[in-house]
């Protein structure tokens, strides 16, 4: 299946305000967020011009505006961009965003080449590109300056399978064994193998990301698992959340274990920080 922007655009248009609360209405979302913020705080500096790709309703925008010199916010969804502006306005931070643009990751040609010190593309943008993933990576490399960084996140295949294991049997019943095998082996939820949803995406393993980034122009400087302990399930995490001391300990372990090479594929999102040579 080839990439078609109408599907991710429609998906995020339909999500509306849910994208604003996605990381706060669940405990696994909280854990995912703290790792992302740890990575951003370690790599985004106050002197930087930053491009945020797939910003959604602004959950990371509200943090980034206070972390850098210049921020350009983009998304493929007009609905999400409008919500982002609304949320920044309510937070008194709208004037801190330099510019909003409706952009598709496969075409950043309207931006000045090598004009940003850093690009933040976390969550799902790259995972929706399917056969255009390498195009998206190259577009970002064209847009960031030499020596600049890209904070890149993708959806994790293994974490998704573990958390959503209860859907595997119905998937086989509805799609058949061959199509279920395709999903589990490739991480691709595409039109050819799935008729139940139009949420087409590529859940990846670290091997997939490593292959995608195996370029002379790329230096991988950090890899992190985000949302690792979310696999415990909401009931278990909610039972701990009310105990502040214990929850802080869990957050501490999430942060530390997210750095272990052995943990990478178990995160809800795989986070890579790369530098353009």
* pLDDT tens digits for range 4-39: 999 999 999 998 888 788 878 899 999 999 999 999
pTM: 0.95
Residue 58 lies in a domain: yes
Q: Which residue has tokens 């869990």? A: 250
Residue 166 lies in a domain: no
pLDDT in tens, 70-105: 999 999 999 999 999 999 999 999 999 999 999 999
Distance (Å, rounded) from C-alpha 191 to C-alpha 199?
9
Residue 190 lies in a domain: no
What CATH code is carried by the domain that includes residue 258? Answer: 3.40.50.150
* Residue-level pLDDT at 91: 97
Residues contacting 67, CB < 8 A, separation 6+: 40, 41, 44, 45, 46, 50
Distance (Å, rounded) from C-alpha 39 to C-alpha 222?
9
| Burial of 113: CB neighbours in 10 Å, binned 0-12, 13-18, 19+ | exposed
pLDDT in tens, 153-198: 999 999 999 999 998 999 898 889 999 999 999 999 998 888 777 8
Distance (Å, rounded) from C-alpha 270 to C-alpha 122?
9
* Residue-level pLDDT at 132: 97
- Segment 108-134 shows an average pLDDT of 97
Distance (Å, rounded) from C-alpha 84 to C-alpha 94?
9
Q: How many domains does the chain have?
A: 1
Checking if the pLDDT of 270 tops 90, the result is yes
Residue 97 lies in a domain: yes
Residue 168 lies in a domain: no
Checking if the pLDDT of 63 tops 90, the result is yes
Residue 34 lies in a domain: yes
Residue 71 lies in a domain: yes
Residue 72 lies in a domain: yes
* Residue-level pLDDT at 51: 98
* Domain limits for position 78: 6-156+200-276
C-beta neighbour count of 259 within 10 angstroms: 14
């Amino acid at each position: 299946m080839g990439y078609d922007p109408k599907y991710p655009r429609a998906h995020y248009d339909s999500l509306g305000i849910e994208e604003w609360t996605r990381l706060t209405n669940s405990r696994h979302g909280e854990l995912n967020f703290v790792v992302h913020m740890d990575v951003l705080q370690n790599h985004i500096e106050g002197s930087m011009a930053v491009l945020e790709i797939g910003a959604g309703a602004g959950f990371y925008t509200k943090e980034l505006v206070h972390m850098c010199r210049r921020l350009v916010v983009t998304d493929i969804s007009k609905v999400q961009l409008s919500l982002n502006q609304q949320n920044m306005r309510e937070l008194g931070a709208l004037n801190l965003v330099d510019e909003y643009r409706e952009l598709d990751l496969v075409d950043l040609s309207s931006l000045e080449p090598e004009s940003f010190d850093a690009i933040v593309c976390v969550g799902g943008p790259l995972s929706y590109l399917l056969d255009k993933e390498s195009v998206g990576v190259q577009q970002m490399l064209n847009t960031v300056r030499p020596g600049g960084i890209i904070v890149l996140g993708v959806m994790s295949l293994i974490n998704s399978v573990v958390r959503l294991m209860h859907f595997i049997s119905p998937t086989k019943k509805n799609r058949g064994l061959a199509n279920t095998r395709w999903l589990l082996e490739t991480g691709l939820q595409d039109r050819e193998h799935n008729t139940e949803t139009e949420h087409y995406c590529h859940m990846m393993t670290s091997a997939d990301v490593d292959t995608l980034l195996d370029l002379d122009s790329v230096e991988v400087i950090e890899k992190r698992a985000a949302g690792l302990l979310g696999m415990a399930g909401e009931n278990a995490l909610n039972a701990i959340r009310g105990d502040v001391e214990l929850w802080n300990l869990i957050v501490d372990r999430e942060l530390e274990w997210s750095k272990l090479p052995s943990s990478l594929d178990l995160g809800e999102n795989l986070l890579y920080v790369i530098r353009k040579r």
